[in-house]
A and B are shown apart, each in its own frame.
Chain A
Amino acid sequence: MRLKLIGCEVLFREMCHACAHSPHQVDVEFLPKGLHDLGGKPMAAKIQEAVDRTPEGVYQAILLGYGLCGNGLEGLTARHTRLVLPRAHDCIALLLGSHERYQAYFADNPGTFYRSTGWLERGQGLQQLTHHTTGFDESLETLIGKYGEDNGRYLYEEMTRYRAQYRKLTFIETGLEAGGKFIAEAAAEARQKGWSFERLPGDLAWLWRLVEGAWAEAEFVVAEPGQRIAASYDNRVVKVRT
């Protein structure tokens, strides 16, 4: 098969690795991590643009290297080529290898901040993409510069209070972490924010099945031309609407 993969750059290393091993020819396009920060509707519009740019008659399917991603894939419509999306809430599920494993880990580990290779090294162009600044991850100095000493300090406290509510940074290890620098960076971030640190083995088999064309109904939703993807509000995560 000839397949087109439109994926989030957060999964860059993991997806390239999977594509390199696929029996199929996969053309890849990565979209910025910042889409996640735009919110559901704007993200969905951007991904639809990428789908719509795909030429007709070239690919047997367009693969989506995403999960539901906060409804960023809600309403995505297949035009002339079928769309294939993993039944995942987000990329953490994909990195852990199954919806069930993610649900279980999430429930057992409240207050966990997740990191992976892509979450550490991608998305630096965030400010250009998000034409407004959400204020998150802005330094105290920047906030004071924008809002004055008193309000700047207040905003910094409000925006960083979440750090005290999280307890752990979990780095999802997939074996693609060249030379240990990612682990070291994640561990340093955990220390800096006062969190504990865990290295959790990931499982890329789900991503491999996406690019291998092994689209079991239980794991993937397939939208045929004219159908659109929607949140299903159950354990199947997503469904198609005609």
Chain B
Amino acid sequence: MPDLEKLHAAVIEGDWKAAAAVTHAAIARGVAPLTIVGCLVPAMDEVGRLFECEEYFVPEMLLSARAMKASMEIVRPLLAAAGTEPVGRVVIGTVKGDLHDIGKNLVASMLEGGGFEVIDLGADVAPERFIEAATARHANLVALSALLTVTMPSMKTTVDAFQAAGLREQVKIMVGGAPVTQQYADAIGADGYSESAAGAVALARKLVVV
């Protein structure tokens, strides 16, 4: 479908205006919103691949995410109006003490493109805020980000806080960020770890499947 190829290209090229224009045109031609959304994750997967092999760097990823978000802005109200249920509800944030958010923002965008309702709490998020938001918004997934080995302990305190509040069984918890490892995720009792933003979407989908 030519529209979707153009949308795919617009995301890869980081052209948000083209992404928006193609999305509007596709909707006008009767392409289903879900079909449009369905093209965004493969496009961002390709962007992720280009990042892994160092053809794309952080600026290119940000521009691709911008293009993807521009398409989502248009499609989101249509999905809501049609009563489309999200794949899952995820509360995402960078943990307490840590202000780094660019990677977390990329994952948040990609999760939305992947069909999730995303509740983004920002950075420096205390465990209590994760709990409040997960409870209030009926989230089934919590995604924690940290960029410093100094702040990684906040991931453990967040997992422990869910446990102490009797909520651990109600959510899956996934972790990520440059210094985070699978080993660390296992050590703190997280349900999953992803090394990349693209991998985060696949992991998130796996975790919310009942």
Binding site for B on A (CB under 8 A): 39-40, 68, 70-71, 89-90, 102-103, 106-107, 110-111, 132-136, 143, 146-147, 150-151, 154-155, 158-159, 162, 165-166, 231, 233, 237
Q: CB distance A89 to B149 under 8 Å?
A: yes
Q: CB distance B149 to A68 under 8 Å?
A: yes
Partner of A231, one of B59, B63, B102, B149: B149
Is B100 an interface residue, CB under 8 A from the partner?
Answer: yes
Residues on A with beta carbons closer than 8 Å to the beta carbon of B99: 110-111, 162, 165-166
The prevalent SS among residues of B at the interface is loop
Q: CB distance A135 to B149 under 8 Å?
A: no
Q: CB distance A158 to B102 under 8 Å?
A: yes
Is B76 an interface residue, CB under 8 A from the partner?
Answer: no
Residues 101-125 of chain B: 1 if any A CB is under 8 Å from the residue's CB, otherwise 0? 1100000000000000000000110
Residues on B with beta carbons closer than 8 Å to the beta carbon of A71: 149, 178-179, 181
- In the complex, residue of chain B having the shortest beta-carbon distance to the beta carbon of A154: B66
Partner of B62, one of A39, A107, A133, A158: A158
Residues on A with beta carbons closer than 8 Å to the beta carbon of B66: 151, 154
Residues on B with beta carbons closer than 8 Å to the beta carbon of A136: 58
- In the complex, residue of chain B having the shortest beta-carbon distance to the beta carbon of A134: B58
Q: CB distance A134 to B57 under 8 Å?
A: yes
Known: A70-B149, A102-B150, A155-B59. A233 touches B184 (CB 8 A): yes
Q: How far is the CA of A107 from the CA of B124 in the complex (A)?
A: 11
Q: CB distance A132 to B57 under 8 Å?
A: yes
Partner of B152, one of A103, A147, A233: A233
A sample of 20 more A-B contacts (CB under 8 A), given A143-B59, A155-B62, A233-B183, is A68-B149, A70-B147, A71-B178, A89-B148, A102-B150, A110-B97, A110-B124, A133-B57, A135-B57, A151-B14, A151-B16, A155-B59, A159-B102, A162-B99, A165-B101, A231-B149, A231-B179, A233-B152, A233-B187, A237-B149
- In the complex, residue of chain B having the shortest beta-carbon distance to the beta carbon of A99: B150
Is B169 an interface residue, CB under 8 A from the partner?
Answer: no
Q: How far is the CA of A15 from the CA of B17 in the complex (A)?
A: 52
Is B54 an interface residue, CB under 8 A from the partner?
Answer: yes
Please give the distance in Å from A30's CB to the nearest CB on chain B.
22
Residues on B with beta carbons closer than 8 Å to the beta carbon of A89: 148-150
- In the complex, residue of chain A having the shortest beta-carbon distance to the beta carbon of B54: A132
Residues on B with beta carbons closer than 8 Å to the beta carbon of A110: 97, 99, 124
Known: A68-B149, A70-B149, A89-B150. A151 touches B63 (CB 8 A): yes
Residues on B with beta carbons closer than 8 Å to the beta carbon of A237: 149
Residues on B with beta carbons closer than 8 Å to the beta carbon of A166: 99
